[in-house]
Amino acid sequence: MRASLFITCYNDTLYPETGRAVVRLLERLGVELEFHPQQTCCGQMHANTGFRVEAFSQARRFVGLYRNTETVVIPSSSCVAMIRDQYPGLFDELGNEAQRSEFAALLPRIYELSEFLIDRLGVEDVGAYFPHRVTYHASCHSLRGLHVGDRPLRLLNKVRGLELVPLENMDRCCGFGGTFSIKNADVSSAMLTAKLQDVLATRAEYCTALDNSCLMHLGGAMHRQFAAMRTIHLAQILCATEGAPPEETV
Amino acid sequence: MSAPSLSRQLILDRIRAATHKLPSEASVAAEQLRSYIRRGKLSVQDRLKLMIERLREYDAEVVDCMPEEVPAAIGKQLALSGRRVFVTPEGLPAQWLAAGFDWKIDRGLENAEIEQAEGVVTAAFCGVADSGTIVLHHSNSEGRRVLTLLPDWHLCILYANQVVETLPEYFDRCPSPSPLHPSDKDLSLGTPPLHPSDKDLSLGTPPLATYISGPSATADIEMTRIKGVHGPRFLNVILVRDEN
Amino acid sequence: MSGTLTGHPVLDPRHAPPFPIAALPVLRNPQLRKNVAHATNVIQTKRARLVAEKTDWQELRTAAAAIRSHVLEDLGSYLEEFEVRCTAAGGKVHWASDAVEARAIIIEVLRQEQANEVIKIKTMTSAEIQLNPALEAAGIHAYETDLAELILQLGEGEPSHFVVPALHVNRSQVREIFARRMGLKDLPDDPKALTAAARTYLRQKFLTIPTAIGGANFLIAETGSVAVVESEGNGRMCLTLPRTLITLAGIEKVLPRFQDLEVMLQLLARSATGERMSPYTSLWTGVTPGDGPQRFHVVLLDNGRSSILARPVERQTLRCIRCAACLNTCPVYRQTGGHAYGSVYPGPIGAILTPQLMHMEFAQSLPFASSLCGACYEVCPVKINIPQVLLELRSQVVNQERRQPARFGDLMFLGMKTANAIFAGARRFRAAQWLGRIALRPFTRKDGWIHSLPSLGAKWTQTRDLRGLPSQSFRQWWVARGKEER
C-alpha cells in the first residue's frame, strides 16, 4: 500500500515529531510513504479568516500537486475538513469545470490519519505500547466535520499499557479556532480555561487529539501554568512501542 | 403616515427580485420529506396510560371514569377542590353542572365576573398523549378563551376517543382542505371561518385554538421552575373511558 | 447607575463596541458567567434527554428545514395568501419596509385607539425595531408582561438571550428591582415569591389596559392565522383580554399550511426550553366575534430580510424559528453571554443575522465571534449551517476591507496577504520557516519555549506559552533521511 503524506504547514514547522511518528507508524504497518516536496498549505487559515480568493489559490495548488496521487494521508482533521467542507464551495465559486472535476476525483482519496488506519488499512491494534494515563479531546473538526466517531478511541483502546480516562465535555470546543485565538484572544482564553479545567480534572499525564492545533492551544496553557500534564498527538502514541517510546520533546 | 400600499409593493418587489434570480435550492416539496412519525404505535390502553402519565408529570390531577359516571366524577372533583364559584361555557351539558355549587354560565360574562370565579369546567377537542397536551378549539362546550384563562382552577373533561398519541394525529383530526394554489385568492375555495360549534362537529382547521401542556410556568429567575404565573395554576382532568 | 442591571447601552449594533471589546467586561464578571453557564446547562440537559427520546428527531429536522426553505423560495406568494386570509377574517395587514416605518405604523394605530398605555408580550422583533423608546417618545408607555422582560424593564437592563432574556440576572438582583419598583420592602428573594409579586403587579394591567402588542412564532398562510408559543400565560392574557391587538412579525415567520405546525411545534419547545411542548400555544385567525380582541392588526416587517433572501448561501438565516438552541450550545456564548454581541439577537444566529440586517454596514466583528466549532449547526432544528454562513460573511467583511486604504495598517490583513504569498511556493515556504526560526530565537527561552511575544503574538502569549520552532522542520528531516538511506 502506498500513500502520500501531506504533513500540513503547521506540523511541518512546529511539530515535526508528529510527522516522524506518522512515518514510523505507517512504515511499520507496511505502508510505502511518499512526501511531495512542493507541498505547503491547504488554505484553511485563509478560508476561515475570510480570504477566499487566497484560500482558493492554495486549494488549487493542493489539488494540482496531488491530482495523480492514489492516497493522501493527513494527520490533521481540520485540514481534511477544509478540503471536504470548503473546497467544494471554493471550486464552485472560483474554479472552472476542469478544476472542479480534478478536485472531485481527488476528494475520495484524502484521509485523515485515524480514518486511514481504520478504514483503509483495517487495523485497530497498531502494536503500540504507551503505559500512561491518557485523556482524549475530540476536536471539533474531527467530530462534527469528519464524523470520525469512535475511531480514535478504538485505536487508543488497543494501545497496551494505556489507561484511557474519559474527558468530561469531551466534545466542547477548546477555544482555539485558528485566527479566532488572536482576533478574540480574551474569549479564546476564557474557553481555554474552561476546557483546561475539564482536562486537568482527569488527572491524566497526557492529553491527546487528532489535531496539533488544539494541542498547541491546550499544551501552551499547560506549560504556562506548570500543569502536571502534557499534550501529545495521537500519532505519537500509536507510534510508540516498548522498544521505541515517543521522542522526548521539549 | 406614508402610503401603505407603496411599502407593500416595495417589499413584494424586493422579495420577488430575491426569489426570482436564485435557482431553487435542491428543496423537494415538503410533502415528500414527511418521513417523520405521523401515526402512533401504542395500543389504546397504552396511549391513555401515556396521556395520564404525561399529565401527571405536569402536576395535573387526573382521574378516570366511565361515561355514565361523568356528572358524579365532576361533582367529586369540584368538592375536593374546596371551591364553590365556577364559570362554564354555554354549551356544557346541563347534567355536568353538579348541585351545590355556584355556576356562572357564560352568556357574555364580563371579565371582572370571570375574574371572581374560582374555577372553570370545560370539555376539550383532543388530547395528545406524547406531550400530555389538551387541545381546545373553543367550541360551545369548551368556551371562549378568557374562560380558561382567568380562573385559577380548570377542570377539563376529556374523552378517551379524543385522545391521540402523536401531534400529527391531532392535525389529522382538523385537516386542511386540499392544498390551495398560492395565487388563488378566491375565498370560496378557502377555509371557511368556523363559528364556535358543538365539540364534535369541528371540521377543518380551527380559527381559534389553545394547546395546553401544563400549568403556566416560568424559569426566568435562575432557571428555577415556578408553576403558575398568569394562567390557571391548577389543571384537573377527568378522562372518560369511552374507548370501547 | 445604581439599580440598573448593567452599564450597557441599548443593544444597538450601530453603536455597540466590537465583540472582542464588548466581551471583556463580561469575561471579568464571574457571577454573570456562572448564571449563563447554569442556564444553558439546564436547558441543554433537558433538551438532550428529550431529543434522545424522540426517535424521529432527525426526520423532523429534515422536514422543518425543507418547509422553511420552501416557504422562503416563494415567500411573496405565501405572504399575499396570508394577507388575503387574515383580512377576510377581520384582521388588518400592514407592511413595514423598515424599523422606522414599523414604529410609525404601530404608533399611528395606537393614536387612533387613543392609547397611552399598552401591554406587551415579549417579542424580539419589537426590540429589533427599538419600539419601546419610540412609544415613550410618543407618550405611550409599554408594560412588558413577560417575567424576564418585566425584570429587565423595571431594572433598566437589556436582554441577553431570546428565550430566557434575564438569565444573567440572579434572584437577589430581581428582589432588589421588584422591591424598589413595586414598593415591596419585605419581599423575599425566593423565585416563588418574586413570581407571585409579578403576577399581582401585572394582573390589573391585563384586566384594564385595552391595547396589546405582541409578536408571532408563526404566521399560517393558508388560514391567515397566527401562532404564539409561551410558558407563563401573559401571552394569552394579551391575546385575549384587550380590545385591540397588534402583532408585529418578520416576513420570514410564515408557514405555508396549518399542518406544518405538526413539525414545527415538535421541534420548537424541545429546542428552546427542553420541554415536549410549551405550556401554552395560542392560535387565532383575524377577529372572532365575542372572543378576544375585536380589532386586530398585523405588521409585516422587512427591515433587511428581503436582502438576506436574495443571497444564496445566507438565505438559510431566515429559516430561524428563534429557539435559541444555538445559544445554549455555543461555547463562545457560554463565556460571554448575550450582551457582548451588541444586538437583540446574540449567539450564533445573532452573529449571522445581525450584520445582515444591518446590510453588512455594522456589526462586522460578529461573524468572527466564533471558533467555528459547529455545535450550533448540530442542534439547529431547521438545519441552518451557521458556520457556512459565518464563513461567507467573513469573506464579505474582508472584501470590504480590501477596498480600504487603511488595510495597509492592519497587521492581520498584511499578515494574511504575506502568508498567502509564502504558501504559493515550497522554496518561499522553506525560506519563511528559516526566517521564522531566526526571528523567534531571541524570544525562545532555555527550555525551548516562548513565553512572551510582541504585537499580534502577544495575543497568544497572554495566556499560553508557545513551543519554540524546532531547528529542523519535518521536510528537512525527510530529505536528510532520504540522503542517509541512499
C453 vs A contacts (CB less than 8 Å): none
Q: What percent of chain A has pLDDT over 90?
A: 98
Cell of C350: 445573532
* Range(s) within chain A of domains with CATH label 3.40.50: 133-239
Strand partners of residue B19: none
Burial string for C293-319 (b: 16+ CB within 10 Å, else e) reads bebbbbbbbbbbbbbbbbbeebbbbbb
Q: Which of A12-21, A140-149, B210-219 has the lowest mean pLDDT?
A: B210-219
* pLDDT, position C479: 96
What percentage of chain C has pLDDT greater than the value 70?
98
Chain C residue with CA closest to A192: the answer is: C463
Q: What is the pLDDT of residue B24?
A: 57
Cβ contact C101–B171 (<8 Å): no
Among C241, C273, C306, identify where a domain stops.
Answer: C306
In this prediction, what percent of chain B has a pLDDT beyond 90?
Answer: 70
| A contact chains, 3+ CB pairs < 8 A | C
What pLDDT shows up at residue A7? 98
CATH assignment at residue C121: 3.40.50.10420
Q: How many domains, in total, are found in chain C?
A: 2
Lowest mean pLDDT among C148-162, C290-304, C382-396: C148-162
Nearest CB among A183, A187, A219 relative to C336 is that of A187
Categorize the per-residue pLDDT at B204 as very low, low, confident or very high, splitting at 50, 70 and 90.
confident
Which residues of chain C does B214 touch, with a Cβ-Cβ cutoff of 8 Å? 275, 279
CA separation for the pair C300, B17 (Å, rounded): 18
Q: How far is C41 from chain A (nearest CA, A)?
A: 11
User: Does residue C418 belong to the interface with chain A, where contact is any CB pair within 8 Å?
Assistant: no
pLDDT per residue as tens digits for the range C356-409? 999 999 999 999 999 999 999 999 999 999 999 999 999 999 999 999 998 888
State which of C290, C306, C322 marks the end of a domain.
C306
pLDDT at residue A170 in the model: 94
- Domain match, C295 and C418 both: no
Averaging pLDDT over each range in B201-210, C151-160, C192-201, C231-240, which range is the top one?
Answer: C231-240
pLDDT in tens, C35-84: 899 999 999 999 999 999 999 999 999 999 999 999 999 999 999 999 99
Binned at pLDDT 50, 70 and 90, residue C4 comes out as very low
CB contact under 8 A, C291 and B2: no
State how far the Cα of C295 lies from the Cα of C245, in Å rounded to an integer. Answer: 6
Q: Is it the case that residue C480 has pLDDT exceeding 60?
A: yes
Choose among C75, C170, C202: nearest Cβ to B222.
Answer: C170
| Chosen domain end from C306, C330, C360 | C306
Distance CA A154, CA A125 (A): 9
Residue range A91-103: average pLDDT? 97
Instruction: Inform me whether the C-beta atom of residue C303 falls under 8 Å from chain B C-beta atoms.
Output: no
Residue C95 touches partner B, C-beta closer than 8 Å: yes
* Residue B225's pLDDT band (cuts 50, 70, 90): confident
Residue B22's pLDDT band (boundaries 50, 70, 90)?
low
CATH for B44-167+207-240? Answer: 3.40.50.10420
Chain B residues with CB-CB distance to C42 below 8 A = 219, 223
What is the domain extent for residue C240?
A: 19-306
Q: Is the pLDDT of residue B181 over 50?
A: no
Cα of C160 to nearest chain A Cα, Å = 17
Judged against a pLDDT cut of 70, whether residue B179 lies above it is answered with no
> In chain A, which residue's Cα lies nearest the Cα of C436?
A13
- Which among C383, C420, C455, C484 is the top mutation candidate for probing chain A, defined by the most A β-carbons within 10 Å of its own β-carbon? C420
Q: Residue B231 and residue C42: Cβ atoms within 8 Å?
A: no
3-state SS, chain C, equals: CCCCCCCCCCCCCCCCCCHHHHHHHHHCCHHHHHHHHHHHHHHHHHHHHHHHHCCCHHHHHHHHHHHHHHHHHCHHHHHHHHHHHHHHCCEEEEEECCHHHHHHHHHHHHHHCCCCEEEECCCHHHHHCCHHHHHHHCCCEEEECCHHHHHHHHHCCCCCCCCCCCCCCCHHHHHHHHHHHHCCCCCCCCHHHHHHHHHHHHHHHHHHCCEEEECCCEEECCCCEEEEEECCCHHHHHHHCCCEEEEEEEHHHEECCHHHHHHHHHHHHHHHCCCCCCCEEEEEECCECCECCCEEEEEEECCCHHHHHCCCCHHHHHHCCCCCHHHHHCHHHHHHCCHHHCCCCCHHHHHHHHHHHCCCCCCCCHHHCCCCCCHHHHHCCCCCCHHHHHHHHHHHHHHHHHCCHHHHHCHHHHHHHHHHHHHCCHHHHHHHHHHHHHHHHHHECCCCEECCCCCCHHHHHCCCCEECCCCCCHHHHHHHHHHHHC
Residues C302 and C420 in one domain: no
Contacting subunits of C (3+ beta carbon pairs below 8 A): A, B
CB contacts, 8 Å: C383 with chain A: none
Q: Chain C 140-159, CB below 8 Å of chain B: which residues?
A: 145-148, 151
**Chains contacting chain B through 3 or more C-beta pairs under 8 A:** C
Query: Looking at residue B220, what is its pLDDT?
Result: 87
Instruction: Convert the pLDDT of each residue in A41-80 to its tens digit.
Output: 999 999 999 999 999 999 999 999 999 999 999 999 999 9
Q: List, for residues A200-250, the tens digit of each pLDDT value.
A: 999 999 999 999 999 999 999 999 999 999 999 999 999 999 999 998 765
Q: With cut-offs at 50, 70 and 90, classify the pLDDT of residue C7.
A: very low
- CATH fold of A133-239 reads Rossmann fold (3.40.50)
Q: Would you state the pLDDT for residue B176?
A: 75
Query: Are chains B and A in contact at 3+ CB pairs closer than 8 Å?
Result: no
On chain C, the residues whose CB falls within 8 A of the CB of A26 are none
How does residue B177 score in pLDDT terms, banded at 50, 70 and 90?
low
**Choice among A181-195, A231-245, B176-190, C257-271 with the minimum mean pLDDT:** B176-190
Chain C (25-84) residues lying within 8 Å, Cβ to Cβ, of chain A = 27, 33
Show residues of chain C in contact with B24, CB under 8 Å: 73
Q: Is the pLDDT of residue C257 over 70?
A: yes
For residue B20, the model assigns a pLDDT of: 82
For B141-145, what is the mean pLDDT?
97
The overall average pLDDT reported for chain A is 97
Helices (H) and strands (E) in chain B, counts: 5, 12
Average pLDDT over residues A159-168: 98
Tell me how long chain B is: 244
Q: What percent of chain A has pLDDT over 70?
A: 99
Is 80 exceeded by the pLDDT of residue B26? no
Give me the half-sphere count of Cα atoms (radius 13 Å) on the Cβ side of residue C202. 33
pLDDT of residue B197: 34
Q: Residue B216 has what pLDDT?
A: 86
The partner residue sitting opposite C20, judged by closest CB among A35, A186, A194, is: A186
Locate the DSSP E strands across B50-110.
61-65, 85-89, 102-106
C455 touches chain A (CB under 8 A): no
* Residue B195 pLDDT class (50, 70, 90 cuts): very low
**Interface contact flag, A7 C336, Cβ < 8 Å:** no
> Quick check: C140 pLDDT over 50?
yes
Interface of B with C in 85-104 (CB under 8 A): none
Q: Give the number of beta-carbon pairs within 8 Å between B and C.
A: 285
Q: Do C477 and A19 touch (CB under 8 A)?
A: yes
pLDDT at B44: 96
Nearest CB neighbour to C423, from listed A40, A49, A217? A40
Nearest CA in chain C to A185: C459
C394 lies in some domain:
no
Tell me which residue of A205, A143, A152, A203 sits closest to A174, measured CA to CA. A143
Name the pLDDT band for B180 (thresholds 50, 70, 90): very low
Mean pLDDT of A15-44: 97
Q: pLDDT tier at C167 (50, 70, 90 boundaries)?
A: confident
C92 touches chain B (CB under 8 A): no
Q: What is the average pLDDT score of chain C?
A: 94
Q: Which residues of C touch B144 (CB under 8 A)?
A: 290-292
* Lowest-pLDDT range of A111-125, B176-190, C69-83, C207-221: B176-190
Banded pLDDT at C99 (limits 50, 70, 90): very high
Preferred mutation among C373, C377, C440 to probe A, highest tally of A CBs within 10 A: C373
Whether residue A184 and residue C462 make contact (CB cut-off 8 A), yes or no, is no
Whether B231 has a pLDDT exceeding 90, the answer reads no
Q: How confident is the model at residue B33 (pLDDT cuts 50, 70, 90)?
A: confident
- DSSP-derived pairing of the beta strands A163-165 and B119-123: unpaired
